[in-house]
Amino acid sequence: MSVFNILNLICGLALFLFGMNFMGDTLKKSAGNKLKTFLGNMTSNPFKGFLLGMGVTAVIQSSSATTVMVVGFVNSGAMLLSQAINVIMGANVGTTVTSWLTGLSGIGEGGATAVSFLQWLKPSSFVPILALVGVLLYMLGKNAQRRNVGLILLGFSVLMIGMDMMSEAVKPLSENEAFKSVLLWFTNPVFGVLAGMVMTAIIQSSSASVGILQSLTVTGAITFGNAVPILLGQKIGTCVTALISSIGTSRNAKRTAFVHFYFNAIGVAAFLGLFYLFDFIVGFPFMGDSIDMWGIAIVHTVFNIFSVILLAPFSKLLEKLVCLTVRDKRGTDTPELLDERFLATPAVAIDKSAQTVGQMANEVREAFSISSGLLYDYDSRGAEKVREIEVRVDSYEDKIGAYLLKISPESVLSKENMEITKLLHLIGDLERISDHAVNIVESAEEIRDKKITFSDEAIEELEIMSSAVGEVVDIALSALVSNNIGEAERVEPLEQVIDGLRDELKRRHILRLQKSKCTVEHGFVLSDILTNYERIADHCSNVAGCIIEISKYKTLQMHSYTDHIKETDAAFEERYREFLKKYSLNEYSE
């Protein structure tokens, strides 16, 4: 084997790994919303969980990627450990699809001559066509989905070209006696398993390591006796990715990674034990025979199906085993939705970000409710709670913003980019509402410290203003959590009513001041309260406008939206009059 063969082998390996990763990444990007639907809405039905894991892995061509994603879902609290077990079992069967695809490289001239249509199954026949179609779709596609299909075809073409290059590069090894003697080491099951483990742990893809083993079969030097333990070792080695991904996660997420490890390790031990027991008793005649690419695919598939049949009835015991491995401690885990494992599937990461923004919105709603009540009945514990919430909301803004910025714009569809833009705008407005809630608390403390007492009329008017702002907060944040456009469209009319209330309350205060019914000190406090109320309503208007603009018009032009509905929307005028009537002030008494 010359240096040029080695260079071709390295080039083929690089193309194979690049093609596999490129195709998988594009598939995950294209199927992001489907993955979110499949895995994000899991049921307790074991069979359905198995099918979902198998289907997703067949699509993204990586059981490791599926398992890492499942670890993230369990870590976020979106999936139970018992559900994750079924998905992981399905993922192990789904990963066999890759070995059958790469096995197409093993179709020889004899079979193609005997059955003419098999000629089209040879990579040399269909890969150029796929590559041409992929290039045309990518260059001429008018939407992102078609371009992604083109990239998937190109990725698959590169993968198959890499496989062919590796196969051609190692063919001279079939006559190399030194290579054959090295392979004899792996007839020992222990060495074979270790070799497969190390190879896959380094590459971090069992599909890739199986493909490399398939490429070596063209030498004719790989026997069933060599291949079986190496294949089984690869199944254990693929667990490394999930175990690494579980570092720093919740206990259940760590348990999910150990489910993957125990499932494969127990399956390997049982399969090896039975396989060599029967070989000892019966004596398998094929152990010394050369294995081809299809033989690798068959052994790979048989093992994974065997493992599922063996362990599926004992899934509850498997769950207990991982719970014993990763024991409970005092305290409880807090689900973390912003898990970086989801970044590999942007649509899922965006969905989890939206859920976290919903949590942030609920915190903001509570902060406003408490702070508004403190104006009339001050409580130090309530004031402290508002400040604690404000700190958490600041943390939400920092974490969500940083997380969303880690999602590369090139890795998502245009509509998902708009969703990222929307969430980044929303967290800013939510954070400002919590700031104003703290400002209201400070006004309440000033009223307490300076023993300021408002007149009954002023208190009644302020309560009407508080109720109006409370409703606009409820409507806007409910619309945010549910992405309800109809609710969002109710915000702007009420915000206009609140602007009018602010102006009227300030006017009435000046009249009372002129009649010496109140003092300038009252005015400063009242002005601060009204300003914070009005700005909270403004931020609610921003929230609602952002939801409407992104959802309906796929753009973000807040001023043009608000100006347009005020001038042309009859429903806006009707809602405005309803709120104006609901929050009307009593006649001012001279």
Q: Residue 460's domain is classified under what CATH number?
A: 1.20.58.220
pLDDT tier for residue 372 given thresholds of 50, 70 and 90: very high
User: Using CA atoms, how far apart are residues 364 and 132, in angstroms rounded to an integer?
Assistant: 53
Tokens 């010394």 locate to 288
Looking at residue 256, its pLDDT comes to 85
If asked whether residues 81 and 207 sit together in one domain, one would say yes
The backbone torsions φ and ψ at residue 230, rounded to the nearest 5 degrees and listed phi first, read: -65, -45
In angstroms, how far is CA 127 from the centroid of its own chain? Answer: 32
If asked whether residues 538 and 577 sit together in one domain, one would say yes
Question: For residue 585, how many other CB atoms are within 10 A of its CB?
Answer: 15
> Which 3 state secondary structure label does DSSP give 290?
strand
Looking at residue 411, its pLDDT comes to 62
If asked whether residues 262 and 389 sit together in one domain, one would say no
Whole-angstrom Cα Rg for the chain: 32
**What are the Cα distances from residue 323, in Å, to 96, 246, 306, 526?**
29, 15, 24, 58
Does any domain span residue 138? yes
If asked whether residues 40 and 146 sit together in one domain, one would say yes
If asked whether residues 245 and 365 sit together in one domain, one would say no
**What are the Cα distances from residue 448, in Å, to 316, 376, 434, 444, 445?**
59, 10, 21, 6, 5
Rounded to an integer, the average pLDDT of 524-550 is 90
Domain count across the chain: 2
Rounded to an integer, the average pLDDT of 236-254 is 74
> Which 3 state secondary structure label does DSSP give 223?
strand
Does any domain span residue 118? yes
Q: Is pLDDT above 90 for 431?
A: yes
If asked whether residues 317 and 454 sit together in one domain, one would say no
Q: Is pLDDT above 60 for 108?
A: no
Q: Please report, as a single letter, which amino acid is at residue 356.
A: T
If asked whether residues 384 and 286 sit together in one domain, one would say no
pLDDT tier for residue 111 given thresholds of 50, 70 and 90: very low
Tokens 């347009």 locate to 564
Tens of pLDDT, residues 298-343: 888 898 899 889 988 888 898 889 888 887 654 444 446 777 777 7
Question: Cβ(134)–Cβ(152) under 8 Å?
Answer: yes
Mean of the per-residue pLDDT values of the chain: 78
If asked whether residues 381 and 302 sit together in one domain, one would say no
Q: Please report, as a single letter, which amino acid is at residue 312.
A: A
Dihedral angle sign, alpha carbons of residues 519, 522, 527, 533: negative
Does any domain span residue 590? no
The backbone torsions φ and ψ at residue 326, rounded to the nearest 5 degrees and listed phi first, read: -110, 95
Domain boundary among 292, 325, 358: 325
If asked whether residues 320 and 399 sit together in one domain, one would say no
The 3-state DSSP composition of the chain as helix, strand, coil percent (nearest 5) reads 85, 0, 15
Question: Cβ(35)–Cβ(57) under 8 Å?
Answer: no
Q: Is pLDDT above 60 for 183?
A: no
User: Using CA atoms, how far apart are residues 96 and 84, in angstroms rounded to an integer?
Assistant: 19
Rounded to an integer, the average pLDDT of 279-288 is 83
Question: Cβ(162)–Cβ(18) under 8 Å?
Answer: yes
User: Using CA atoms, how far apart are residues 359 and 335, in angstroms rounded to an integer?
Assistant: 12
If asked whether residues 393 and 289 sit together in one domain, one would say no
Does any domain span residue 137? yes
Does any domain span residue 337? no
Per cent of the chain over pLDDT 90 is: 21
Question: For residue 546, how many other CB atoms are within 10 A of its CB?
Answer: 24
Question: Cβ(16)–Cβ(203) under 8 Å?
Answer: no
- Residue 390, domain extent: 342-582
If asked whether residues 127 and 212 sit together in one domain, one would say yes
Q: Is pLDDT above 50 for 373?
A: yes
Does any domain span residue 587? no
pLDDT tier for residue 530 given thresholds of 50, 70 and 90: very high
If asked whether residues 307 and 390 sit together in one domain, one would say no
Does any domain span residue 446? yes
Does any domain span residue 405? yes
Q: Is pLDDT above 60 for 399?
A: yes
Rounded to an integer, the average pLDDT of 527-536 is 92
Domain boundary among 295, 325, 355: 325
Looking at residue 48, its pLDDT comes to 78
Question: For residue 84, how many other CB atoms are within 10 A of its CB?
Answer: 28
User: Using CA atoms, how far apart are residues 447 and 464, in angstroms rounded to an integer?
Assistant: 19
